[in-house]
Homo-oligomer: A and B are copies of this chain.
């Protein structure tokens, strides 16, 4: 098994948009650079939090080209590439490999439900074979609460065995610690990321690679701190600090909530633009979220005074 070159704290980067819902590419690139400067070790653009699947193939490919052209190091990128259709996933994956991306984050095809492990294996295998690029590094994206279709332990094992050069890691967004623990203990050396920073300390203690977390869009420095200091005596309190921030958005859809935090932080209402079927938070939700966020920041200041709150 090829070792994962990607480790640490990755943001599934929020996608800022113009009022007409086209991507605000300059703002997006500036935000990507800021995240890398402020704590992220890498970026997973075109993740679920990025609204990737609300974007067309052309839009995604042009954006990734521009991101790399503007100097964001491809080696630190793990763009999302999973779609319902093998040819589309092949196009996105081939582009990423060619650009030198450190990896790609690959959803299984997610339109049909109740499909077999054999079918999911065949889909991923078909993509890897068609891309046919030894630079390709696949991170399997397991997010059954949204995709409904995911990767069983047996299927992960089969994929690693069949493609030891290519299948190097996974993002587990099951929200289920037992599943994540199963992956971590079954496949030591596999590049396993938790999809939620609330399992970060546990993940790192079991040898995991890090986290790809929506919250890394807004508190990258704090998550990085735990990543760097997870073996220190105060690791539990660093985890508790992260958990407090997560609580602020617990009752709301994560994507509009995080876009609201960005709008409040920057004073730029453009951050609120979001593609249907997602919608902005309602006014009363915004007030509640702001109050919760202020409280988390106040408490967080006692743990470590971060510039970014």
Question: What chain B residues lie within 8 Å of A279 (beta carbons)?
Answer: 115-116, 118-119, 122
Q: Are A84 and B122 in contact (CB under 8 A)?
A: no
Would B122 and A277 count as touching, CB distance under 8 A? yes
Chain A positions 99-142 with a Cβ under 8 Å from a chain B Cβ: 108-113, 115-116, 118-120, 122-123, 126
Chain A interface size band reads 35 or more
- Indicate whether A278 reaches chain B with its CB closer than 8 angstroms: yes
Contact B112 A278 (CB under 8 A): yes
User: Would you give the shortest CB distance from A36 to chain B, in whole angstroms?
Assistant: 27
A132 to chain B, nearest CB (A): 14
Q: For the complex, is A252 an interface residue (Cβ under 8 Å from B)?
A: no
- Which B residues are in CB contact (< 8 Å) with A115? 277-279
Produce 1/0 per residue, A264-279, CB < 8 A to B: 0000000000011111
CB pair A85 B122 closer than 8 Å: no
| Copies of this chain, count | 2
Q: Determine how close the nearest CB of chain B comes to the CB of A109; give it in whole angstroms.
A: 5
Q: Does A308 have its Cβ within 8 Å of any Cβ on chain B?
A: no
For A108, the chain B residues whose CB sits under 8 A away are: 277
CA distance A59 to B126 in the complex (A): 17
Known: A54-B111, A110-B111, A113-B145. A277 touches B87 (CB 8 A): no
Closest chain B CB from A128 CB (angstroms)? 12
A-B residue pairs, 8 tightest by C-beta? A119-B277, A123-B276, A122-B276, A56-B87, A53-B111, A115-B277, A53-B84, A119-B279
Apart from A112-B146, A112-B277, A115-B277, list 20 A-B contacts with CB within 8 A.
A53-B112, A54-B84, A54-B111, A56-B85, A57-B88, A86-B276, A108-B277, A109-B277, A111-B146, A113-B146, A113-B148, A119-B276, A119-B277, A119-B278, A119-B279, A120-B276, A120-B277, A122-B279, A123-B277, A126-B276
